[in-house]
Amino acid sequence: GDSVTQMEGPVTLSEEAFLTINCTYTATGYPSLFWYVQYPGEGLQLLLKATKADDKGSNKGFEATYRKETTSFHLEKGSVQVSDSAVYFCALTRSGGSYIPTFGRGTSLIVHP
Amino acid sequence: NAGVMQNPRHLVRRRGQEARLRCSPMKGHSHVYWYRQLPEEGLKFMVYLQKENIIDESGMPKERFSAEFPKEGPSILRIQQVVRGDSAAYFCASSPPGATGELFFGEGSRLTVL
């Protein structure tokens, strides 16, 4: 079945450091890929998405590129802020299916001043 | 434009009691999803509903758990005879017709079973 694998956290960085959170997937066909963010005590919010190979999703300084050859969708940000501290979830939906997202386990990011 | 509304935000039950969690989707959304989040674990899909229909309940435990999304009113996730292992955050999400995977989440209902 479909699955999403994320790097284990927590990821701890200093403010203005470069961020990478790895995400790889297993799915048949051509899934759509998503990153969601969950701030403490809140629900998930969509951060960015990409629907086909080589697409780059971007939002709030975060970027991720849909790499079909490596089945990856790594999240990056050039300079993190304390306010980016949250849990980040990678997810996919399979085209032609019921579009129920499959989520990774989440990666906690802690940014220190 | 109200988002997905879940209530209660926090619920405490003793073992053997029933828990009812409610979810009102965003206006115009007819698809509702329930997920469970356990500490140190990711989101586990439970059930996907459209108005008056259960589309996919492959993630729902076979016993004690049920869900509905009536023609009028919120979606309800019902857990009968709760046990300590049911303690978790339960998230509802909604999407409009024709959506291809982008979900809008509520803030969750946190169930604690004593």
For B62-87, the pLDDT digits (tens) are 999 999 999 999 999 999 999 999 99
pLDDT of residue A9: 86
Does the pLDDT at position B2 exceed 90?
Answer: no
Cα B24 from Cα A73, distance rounded (Å): 32
Cis omega (within 30 of 0) for bond into A31: no
**For residue B61, what pLDDT band results from cuts at 50, 70 and 90?**
very high
Q: Does A62 touch chain B (CB under 8 A)?
A: no
Instruction: Determine contact, residues B104/B4, Cβ cutoff 8 Å.
Output: yes
Check CB contact under 8 Å for A98 and B48: yes
* Among the partner residues B95, B99, B107, nearest to A43 by beta-carbon distance: B107
For A37-93, the pLDDT digits (tens) are 999 888 899 999 999 999 999 999 999 999 999 999 999 999 999 999 999 999 999
Does the pLDDT at position B42 exceed 90?
Answer: no
Within 8 A of B43 by CB-CB distance, chain A residues are 44, 89, 103, 106
Within 8 A of A95 by CB-CB distance, chain B residues are 100
Check CB contact under 8 Å for B103 and A44: yes
Q: Does A41 touch chain B (CB under 8 A)?
A: yes
Does the pLDDT at position B101 exceed 90?
Answer: no
Q: Three-class SS of residue B33?
A: strand
